[in-house]
Amino acid sequence: MPKSAKRVLKNSFFQTFGAFGISGLNFLLTVAYARILGPESYGSLVTSQAQVLVWSLLVDLGLSNALIGALTAASGERSELSRQGFRARDMVARVLWLRCLGATLGAFFICAASFAKHDFLSESFFQDIAFVPHLYAIALQQTAAAFASYRQRQGLSVAVTLFGVFLTVVLTIFLAYQKSSLSILLLSQSWGGIFSAAVIFIYFFYQTAKRKRLGKSRRKEKTKKGEWRSEAWGALARDAWPYAITIAVMVLWQRLDQIAVSHILGLESGGQYALAVRLVAIPILVATSVSFAIFPDLQRVGIDAPEKVNLILSVTSKLIYRYGILFGGVIAVAAGLLISPLVPKFKPALEILPFFIPGIWGYWLQSIFINSLFGLREYKIAIRVHIYSLFIYVACLCTLPFVMGIYGVVLSFNVFCLSMSFFGYLAAKKANILSPTFRFFGSFSENEKQFLNNLAFWKATK
């Protein structure tokens, strides 16, 4: 089996394992919140979270993908001379600086909005701003995780992130049982990300210092300026801008529904919807983690052997189209059945859970289309897919809840995911990533069968 395919599988395994671990820990936190707080208080808490997290679009800015893309392009240079000006820490420092600036801008807007709505230093004011440190946690953790992904240390990143989430969940559940205020609970959820980022950065700092001490550094001389140092901002910008737009769209999709249901239908309905959508996030997170795991390799394949992207997309899209809806449904329903006896006050949340299944399937399908488009750097086409889908989503979210209540919000969720799949499929066709004769239910070609056989053989020999 090709080395790159083995690396993709290994990294996907780490990310998927981590996704399930994080989902499991957040599942425990969700159950504890639901049991202790009840629908209305829980709805108030998650709405405060959503109103902060919507500003994470100023923190992400597409910089995780841009950092990986810039570092991959730089390390791909074969001449030693061209490498002399490149230092990974320069790129990482720039990304971290930009993200902290975005977090500060977001914090300013959040504080200003809270001050306009509530009395200064009131409990409501503190509740609105208590989750702000999480923006800085995101800035640190995402930068550290992207650098670890580039260095092929997904295992380290996943393990440290899991431990950070574990510490956060334990602390928050303890405080919840102590009847702490919602502001304290929100504040306690920020420190796990800061901890995990610190551990990852310390690890790589130690490794760099060790290589220098042993004389194994790749750099032959200490240059202060060079090709990549002087062009660092340009290298980041070239890959960041499309991801900044598309990730902003995804952030709005993830947060506007919670804000809409709480403000249109009330905090109790907001709490019911929040529990349901957090259970739905379990299969969604799997697709997100796998996509992030394979992204560095898709970037490399897109440069070195773009024809392989066609093969990967064709095989995975057929499998997801045929079996994804069943797999997604099983995960969502199983989560609902497991949590049902634990949160009797949230019966409406469990009743709407099956209606999310088409959206889960659509999200899985679109994730492979979008990753393939980005792997071949078809940025403009990918952006159009996101913009079209967001326009349809906002139109649904502004109308359907008034007509259909909470089911209107669920339908809006599904419409966005299915729109992303539909437009993503058309975009893949337009970019010639999918062949003109491709059919979801078509039989597997000989190359596709060989690809699947290689995967099966690799699994059997491990």
Total residue count of the chain as it appears in this document = 462
| CA separation for the pair 328, 359 (Å, rounded) | 9
Write the Ramachandran bin of 14: left for phi over 0, alpha for psi from -120 to 50, otherwise beta: alpha
pTM above 0.75, yes or no: no
Cβ-count burial 66-81 (b if 16+ within 10 Å, e if not): bbbbbbbbbeeeeeee
386 dihedral zone (left: phi>0; alpha: psi -120 to 50; beta): alpha
Which ranges of 151-231 would DSSP assign to H, the alpha helix? 154-177, 182-188, 191-213, 227-230
Residues 346 and 343: their CA atoms lie apart, in Å, by 6
Query: What values do phi and psi take at 375, rounded to 5?
Result: -60, -35
Q: Is 142 in contact with 98 (CB distance < 8 Å)?
A: no
Asked if pLDDT for residue 435 goes beyond 80, the answer is no
Over range 272-286, report the average pLDDT: 80
As a whole number, mean pLDDT of residues 246-275 equals 87
pLDDT of residue 448: 66
User: Which pLDDT score is estimated for 81?
Assistant: 35
Ranges of each domain in the chain: 3-461
What pLDDT does 77 receive?
Answer: 47
Three-state DSSP class for residue 121: coil
Q: Which residue has the higher pLDDT, 51 or 1?
A: 51
Q: Span 382-397, mean pLDDT?
A: 92
pLDDT tens per residue, range 151-200:
667 677 778 888 888 888 888 889 888 888 888 888 888 888 788 888 88
> In this structure, are residues 162 and 105 in contact, taking their beta carbons and an 8 Å threshold?
no
List pLDDT tens digits, range 321-368: 777 777 777 777 777 777 777 777 888 888 888 888 888 888 888 887
User: Cβ contacts of residue 204 below 8 Å, gap of 6+?
Assistant: 147, 148, 151
Q: What is the pLDDT of residue 78?
A: 42
Q: What is the DSSP string of 28-84?
A: HHHHHHHHHHHHHHHHHHHHHHHHHHGGGHHHHTTHHHHHHHHHHHHHT---HHHHT
> Distances from the Cα of 80 to the Cαs of 17, 226, 227, 300, in angstroms?
37, 12, 12, 20
Q: 389: pLDDT confidence band, cut at 50, 70 and 90?
A: very high
pLDDT band per the 50, 70, 90 thresholds, residue 419: very high
Long-range CB pairs of 238-241, under 8 A, 24+ apart, other chains included? 238/66, 238/69, 238/70, 239/62, 239/65, 239/66, 239/69, 239/70, 240/61, 240/62, 240/63, 240/65, 240/66, 241/62, 241/379
